[in-house]
Amino acid sequence: MRTALISDIHGNLEALRVVLDDIDAKRSVDRIICLGDILGYGPDPVACAEIVADRCEWSLMGNHDYGALYEPTNFNAAAEQAAYWTRAQFELEHDADAAARRWEFLGHLKVRTTFNDFLCVHGSPRRPINEYIFPEDAINSPVKMRQVFERVKKYCLVGHTHVPGVFTDEPDFYPPGDFEDTWTFEDDCRCIINPGSVGQPRDLDPRASYGVLDEEKCTVDFHRVAYDVESVVKKIHAIPELSNWLGDRLLEGR
């Protein structure tokens, strides 16, 4: 089974489209799964939700999906305003069937799920929607990392930080460049894998990020794809409720 891993789309339709085109053209996957944060920050939340509902086998609930659907918790002012604007875009729908279908989809996003040896959460195994596992935690927060890994039997897939890479239970963190973009699982080594963000990368590389898990080969490949960042920035700048910073940061990938 080959599974494309996408995460943290954040209403960035241009990035989502190029990632799906790249997957379709080059990766011959059996399915696509989404690790959460379809919504929030970006200018096209409704279109992104429609596409994920159509193309992904399932999606997790991210903190920004939760924020738009229920209530924004622990958000800064710009993120909170973006969450309310995002919700309003769904409320603008006049077609009652389309609106109901979208709310139904968003309301059934999974908080936590498993398949084979993989636990899947947006944030962390301790706090699936909201807790970050940052690369620097591997050095600075050994107790946190131990407690996180206590909840991982073998392998875990996460999103949320928008930084691609792999955590091992040493603990350590390896960005994709450290292993030439292909991580190989070893039976006796637990790991947590983050495929990075489709719509708002934060590792100083503005290109969209995603992964492909191959369970037979025991590998995850990390991929980057360039997209038309400028036109997304323009859309964000044109929407008063979305802070200009949400566009500007896309240019630098931070």
Binding site for Zn ion (CB under 5 A): 8, 37
Closest separation between CB of residue 25 and Zn ion, Å? 26
Closest separation between CB of residue 45 and Zn ion, Å? 13
8 vs 14, beta carbon nearer Zn ion: 8
Helices (H), the chain: 13-26, 45-55, 63-69, 77-91, 96-107, 137-140, 142-150, 229-237, 244-252
Residues 89, 90, 96, 102, Cα dihedral to 10°? 150
Please state the φ and ψ torsions of residue 136, each to the nearest 5 degrees.
-70, -15
| Residue bearing tokens 């620097």 | 136
156 vs 214, beta carbon nearer Zn ion: 156
Closest separation between CB of residue 85 and Zn ion, Å? 16
Q: Alpha-carbon distance 163 to 211, whole Å?
A: 12
Closest separation between CB of residue 122 and Zn ion, Å? 8
185 vs 222, beta carbon nearer Zn ion: 222
Contact 160, 37 (CB under 8 A): yes
Closest separation between CB of residue 233 and Zn ion, Å? 18
Nearest residue to Zn ion, by Cβ distance, number only: 37
Tokens standing for 241? 């409720």
75 vs 115, beta carbon nearer Zn ion: 75
122 vs 223, beta carbon nearer Zn ion: 122
Q: Alpha-carbon distance 46 to 39, whole Å?
A: 8
Q: Alpha-carbon distance 35 to 29, whole Å?
A: 16
